[in-house]
Amino acid sequence: MKRSASEADLSPIHSQTVMAPSADHDQGFSDAVPDAHATVVIAGAGPAGLMLAVNLVRLGISTLILDDRPDKTTTGKADGIQPKTIETLRQLRLADTLLRNGARVYDISFWDSTPSHPLSRKGRQIHYPDHLVGASDPYILLAHQGMLEDVLLDDLKERGVTVQRDSPFLSCARDRAGKLDVTYEDRAAGENRVVKADFLVGCDGARSRVREFIPDARLEGEMSNASWGVLDGVIETDFPDLWSKVAVRSHTVGSILWIPRERNMTRLYVELSATAGERVDKAKATPEYVMARAREAMHPFSLEWKSIEWFGNYVVGQRVARRFSDPEHQIFIAGDAGHCHSALAAQGANTSMHDSFNLAWKLNLVSRGLASPSLLGTYEAERRKIANDLIAFDAGHCAAFEAGEAALTRNFNDNIRFISGVGAEYADGLLTRDSAGSGSPNGLHPGALMIPSKVTRYIDANPVDIQLDIPILGQFRLYFLIPDVQAAKGFLQSVCGLLAEKSHLSTASSAARSSYQTQSRGNAASDAFLCLDRYMAVSDILTLALVSGSKRDVFELADLPAALQRSRWTVYLDDVDGCIEKWVGMSGQAATVIVRPDGYIGAVKPWDVSQGVEAGRWVDEYFAFLA
Q: Does residue 266 bind a second copy (CB under 8 A)? A: no
DSSP class of 598: T
| 52-60, 94-102, 394-402, 465-473 -> range binding a second copy (CB under 8 A) | 94-102
Q: Does residue 96 bind a second copy (CB under 8 A)? A: yes
Q: Does residue 428 bind a second copy (CB under 8 A)? A: no
Which of 29, 243, 289, 301 is close enough to bind a second copy by CB under 8 A?
243
Q: Does residue 525 bind a second copy (CB under 8 A)? A: no
In which order are the strands placed within the sheet that holds 80-81?
Answer: 80-81, 140-142, 103-105
Which of 33, 276, 283, 461 is close enough to bind a second copy by CB under 8 A?
461
Nearest residue (CB) to a second copy, 97 versus 493: 97
Which of 69, 93, 489, 513 is close enough to bind a second copy by CB under 8 A?
93
Nearest residue (CB) to a second copy, 93 versus 454: 93
Which of 70, 129, 240, 327 is close enough to bind a second copy by CB under 8 A?
240
In whole angstroms, give the CA distance from residue 294 to residue 455: 48
Nearest residue (CB) to a second copy, 111 versus 139: 139
Smallest separation, CB 104 to a second copy (Å): 5
Residue type, 132: L
In whole angstroms, give the CA distance from residue 122 to residue 268: 19
Smallest separation, CB 405 to a second copy (Å): 16
User: Buried b / exposed e across 141-150, counting CB within 10 Å, b at 16+?
Assistant: bbbbbbbbbb
Q: Site residues for a second copy, window 549-568 (CB under 8 A)?
A: 552-553, 556-558
Say if CB 325 and CB 209 are below 8 A apart: no
Nearest residue (CB) to a second copy, 103 versus 564: 103
Q: Does residue 124 bind a second copy (CB under 8 A)? A: yes
Residue type, 16: Q
Say if CB 577 and CB 454 are below 8 A apart: yes
Backbone phi, then psi, for 189, in 5-degree steps? -85, -15
| 255-263, 387-395, 469-477, 502-510 -> range binding a second copy (CB under 8 A) | 255-263
**Using alpha carbons only, how large is the chain's radius of gyration in Å?**
25
Nearest residue (CB) to a second copy, 22 versus 97: 97
Sign of the CA dihedral running 396, 398, 399, 404: positive
DSSP assignment string, 308-344:
EEEEEEEEEEEEEES-SB-TTS-EEE-GGGTEE--ST
Backbone phi, then psi, for 168, in 5-degree steps? -70, 140
| 101-109, 185-193, 280-288, 347-355 -> range binding a second copy (CB under 8 A) | 101-109
Nearest residue (CB) to a second copy, 288 versus 460: 460
Backbone phi, then psi, for 606, in 5-degree steps? -85, 155
DSSP class of 282: G
Q: Does residue 118 bind a second copy (CB under 8 A)? A: no
**Contacting residues toward a second copy, per CB under 8 A:** 93, 96, 100-101, 103-107, 124, 126, 139, 240, 243-244, 260, 262-264, 459-463, 526, 528-529, 531, 552-553, 556-558
